[in-house]
Chain A
Amino acid sequence: MVLVLIGVSLLVFTVMMLLPPGQRVAAYVTNDRVSPAQMDAMIAKYGLNDPAPVQYFRWVRNLLHGEFGYSITASSPVIDGFVRFFPVTLGLVLFSAPLIILVGIFLGTLGAVRKDTPTDHFTRVFAIVGYSLPTFWLGLLLMMIFYGFAGIFPPGTVSNDVRNIIYGEGYHQYTHLLVLDGILNWRWQVVGDALYRMVLPTLNLVVINSALIMRLMRSSMLESLGQDYMMTARAKGADRKTLFRRHARRNAMLPVITVSGLTFAGLMGGMVITETIFDRKGIGWWMAQAALQLDVAAIMFNVLFLGTIYVVINLIVDLIYAYVDPRVRLS
């Protein structure tokens, strides 16, 4: 795992070395009025013309010291930008990731149990359409129908009123997560507004990302339904509910658990698009802005951060797998 992380940092570094020093120096510039001569001086000062390995080790040392550089798009050091943008993304992930997994498992099971009925056909069409829709288009359509036509579910993270409450007196931002802070401060208006504005982005992410889990769950459940132990259970007189829940679904879940780690990657990609469309200033939105404005420090930090999270999540998934699968647990 550590090896993979070192590899990831090398990859990110190599990619960014493709840029000329004049553009990489932006990671150290803290205002936008810099003359070419100052630029050259800074390139020399930070050694951006040094041999690549020297620069790599210096960069890693800086990372370990918590120096991530300056982000133009956040107009602040990268770490401050991160503290500001991350809670917005985390809020949406905490809200949508469980839904994606639950919807996928539920519809996949439903399709397998009622194979070749209209229900099954419906879930399969839903999956393949969800697989084929561009995230950005679905988001725009949802916005056009709900916000543009019906005037409900506006974009953004909070309304102006709520923003006044948040930055007003007597409101403590304990976690910077809107919903959680709202509950802790006993301000239900904040909770309501934050949830209200998360409806469309969540819908967008769920439709697109649950398709993979749904397909896998269906085929894995079908396989499990055809096994001998199902016959045994039926012969022993188990009713349908026990049959499906205890015997089939438990086994069918195993491959799905493996893939739910992969879902995170899709979710992060979807997050870049979803946050851009629904005007939610989170990590995804930041990444999109940084890519457009050549904000090297922010790009490097975000890629590295998301890579690290992804590696950790896959490790957790492996652990869960070992816990759930009795064959692994007992050996």
Chain B
Amino acid sequence: MHPRLREMLFTAKRFLRNPLSVIGLSLIVIFGVIAILAPVLEPPTNRDPYKIPHNGYRIEPSPPSAAHPLGTTQQQYDMLYGLVWGARSAFKIGVLVVAANLLIGIILGALAGYFGGIVDEVIMRIADIFYAIPFLVMAMALVVAIGRGLKAVIIVLIILEWPSYTRVIRSDILVTRGKDFILAARASGASHLRIIFSHILPNAMYSVLILASLNIGTTILTAAALSFLGLGSETGTADWGQIVSLCRNWIVGTPGNRFAYWYTVFIPGFVISLFVLGWNLLGDAVRDVFDPRMRRR
């Protein structure tokens, strides 16, 4: 058997042996399927599918019924529709933010780590400044400056998360830079770009992948928190944080039934938790599988 294939099989086996990582992977796959099948599961009625349909403007949420399997939020937005299309929003935010950060992180981290000197100094001192302000607080200030909305939230998260990617890639490159095979490549006349892309980055990739998979959960939580505070998407958008913010006034039930509105409080937050839990379990699993120190134990 080809050694690379054997290595992959070994990795897959290790991954599947841990029940927690299987749970994490299943959760993400389920959410992925829901997000892909959203137009089939909940056919859009508006021109913009991310607008949740609502019957009337009655303030009080309605309990689950045949027409609304998971009930409605305040102002009668259909919960199930919002959650299904919200899965799409969540993937969009997570994937866009992480992809953009990988790109920025790789470029800046490679520049800082490979060339060192003044370039390194400037990039890393700027990163330090970003580290010096509590994350959510800075995110709030930036959203205010850029303007509210889901797009702004995505941009803000990209602006704020690049330092951690850059830092990890830089330190990985610093480790790899001094290795003999790099010297050999340089001696045989390889260009800087070629050394960075075909010799250094492949060796630094694992820790970045681990960081990325652990980071999607945090990214989604921050985006949801911003939406919850009213700084994210506008009312009625299929976005999980925004749906939770609609339930804020319904934590106290009616005198006869104190849990009268439990569904509108419980369901959307529970869905966010499952999604984030899935990514965190997956990230832990990826770390255990790929980390060479943990690998052969």
State the Cβ distance, B270 to closest chain A Cβ, in Å. Answer: 8
Knowing A287-B140, A310-B133, the reply to whether A128 touches B269 (Cβ < 8 A) is no
Identify whether the interface residues of B are mostly helix, strand, loop, or mixed.
Answer: helix
State the Cβ distance, B148 to closest chain A Cβ, in Å. Answer: 9
A330: Cβ under 8 A from any B Cβ: no
Closest to A131 in B: B280
Which chain A residues lie closer than 8 Å to B137 at the CB level? 268-269, 272, 287, 302-303, 306
Q: Which residues, 35 to 68 on B, are CB-close (under 8 Å) to A?
A: none
Which chain B residues lie closer than 8 Å to A3 at the CB level? 125
A119-131 vs B, Cβ < 8 Å mask (1 yes, 0 no): 0000000001101
Which chain A residues lie closer than 8 Å to B252 at the CB level? 144, 147-148
Query: Are A15 and B225 within 8 A (Cβ)?
Result: no
Closest to B139 in A: A269
Which residue of B140, B266, B269 contacts A291 across the interface (Cβ within 8 Å)?
B140
Number of A-B pairs whose CB atoms are under 8 Å?
151
- A269→B252 CA distance, assembly (Å): 26
Query: Are A144 and B229 within 8 A (Cβ)?
Result: no
A87: Cβ under 8 A from any B Cβ: no
Query: What is the number of residues of chain A that contact chain B, defined by CB distance less than 8 Å?
Result: 51
Segment touching A, from B181-189, B199-207, B257-265: B257-265
Segment touching A, from B10-18, B93-101, B111-119, B271-279: B271-279
State the Cβ distance, B70 to closest chain A Cβ, in Å. Answer: 16
- A88→B204 CA distance, assembly (Å): 46
A299: Cβ under 8 A from any B Cβ: yes
- A140→B265 CA distance, assembly (Å): 7
Which chain B residues lie closer than 8 Å to A132 at the CB level? 217, 221, 273, 276-277, 280
- A177→B284 CA distance, assembly (Å): 41
Segment touching A, from B72-80, B82-90, B167-175, B243-251: B243-251
Which residue of B144, B253, B284 contacts A294 across the interface (Cβ within 8 Å)?
B144
Query: Are A144 and B138 within 8 A (Cβ)?
Result: no
Which chain A residues lie closer than 8 Å to B265 at the CB level? 140-141, 144
Which chain B residues lie closer than 8 Å to A299 at the CB level? 140-141, 144
Query: Are B269 and A141 within 8 A (Cβ)?
Result: yes
State the Cβ distance, B260 to closest chain A Cβ, in Å. Answer: 9
Which residue of A11, A12, A128 contacts B277 across the interface (Cβ within 8 Å)?
A128
Q: Which residues, 1 to 47 on A, are CB-close (under 8 Å) to B?
A: 3-5, 7-8, 10-12, 15-16, 18-19
Q: Which residues, 135 to 172 on A, are CB-close (under 8 Å) to B?
A: 135-138, 140-141, 143-144, 147-149
The interface of chain A, by Cβ under 8 A from chain B, is: 3-5, 7-8, 10-12, 15-16, 18-19, 128-129, 131-138, 140-141, 143-144, 147-149, 264-266, 268-269, 272-273, 276-277, 287-288, 291-292, 294, 299-300, 302-303, 306-307, 310-311
Which residue of A19, A140, A303 contacts B138 across the interface (Cβ within 8 Å)?
A303
Knowing A273-B225, A310-B132, the reply to whether A134 touches B273 (Cβ < 8 A) is yes
- A115→B146 CA distance, assembly (Å): 48
Query: Are A8 and B228 within 8 A (Cβ)?
Result: no
B123: Cβ under 8 A from any A Cβ: no
Which residue of A131, A144, A276, A303 contacts B133 across the interface (Cβ within 8 Å)?
A303
Which chain B residues lie closer than 8 Å to A16 at the CB level? 141, 145
Knowing A7-B126, A149-B259, the reply to whether A15 touches B141 (Cβ < 8 A) is yes
Query: Are B129 and A19 within 8 A (Cβ)?
Result: no
Identify whether the interface residues of A are mostly helix, strand, loop, or mixed.
Answer: helix
State the Cβ distance, B152 to closest chain A Cβ, in Å. Answer: 11
- Across the A-B interface, the 4 shortest Cβ-Cβ residue pairs: A137-B269, A269-B136, A7-B129, A132-B277
Knowing A269-B135, A287-B140, A291-B140, the reply to whether A134 touches B259 (Cβ < 8 A) is no
B219-255 vs A, Cβ < 8 Å mask (1 yes, 0 no): 0010011001111000000000100100110011100
- A120→B72 CA distance, assembly (Å): 40
Knowing A133-B273, A140-B265, A148-B259, the reply to whether A18 touches B145 (Cβ < 8 A) is yes
Which chain A residues lie closer than 8 Å to B258 at the CB level? 148-149
Which residue of A131, A268, A277 contacts B136 across the interface (Cβ within 8 Å)?
A268
- A3→B265 CA distance, assembly (Å): 45
B150: Cβ under 8 A from any A Cβ: no
Query: Are A306 and B133 within 8 A (Cβ)?
Result: yes
Which residue of B229, B247, B281, B284 contacts A272 across the interface (Cβ within 8 Å)?
B229
Query: Are A137 and B144 within 8 A (Cβ)?
Result: no
B256: Cβ under 8 A from any A Cβ: no
Query: Are B231 and A148 within 8 A (Cβ)?
Result: no
B7: Cβ under 8 A from any A Cβ: no
List 26 A-B pairs, Cβ < 8 Å. A4-B128, A7-B128, A7-B132, A128-B277, A128-B281, A129-B273, A132-B273, A132-B276, A132-B280, A134-B228, A140-B244, A140-B251, A143-B251, A144-B251, A148-B258, A148-B259, A149-B253, A149-B259, A269-B134, A269-B137, A273-B228, A287-B137, A287-B140, A291-B231, A303-B141, A306-B133
- A141→B284 CA distance, assembly (Å): 27
B142: Cβ under 8 A from any A Cβ: yes
B290: Cβ under 8 A from any A Cβ: no
B286: Cβ under 8 A from any A Cβ: no
Which residue of B132, B138, B272 contacts A311 across the interface (Cβ within 8 Å)?
B132
B130: Cβ under 8 A from any A Cβ: yes
State the Cβ distance, A9 to closest chain B Cβ, in Å. Answer: 10
Closest to B245 in A: A136
State the Cβ distance, A141 to closest chain B Cβ, in Å. Answer: 7
B102: Cβ under 8 A from any A Cβ: no
B211: Cβ under 8 A from any A Cβ: no
B150-180 vs A, Cβ < 8 Å mask (1 yes, 0 no): 0000000000000000000000000000000
Query: Are A136 and B259 within 8 A (Cβ)?
Result: no
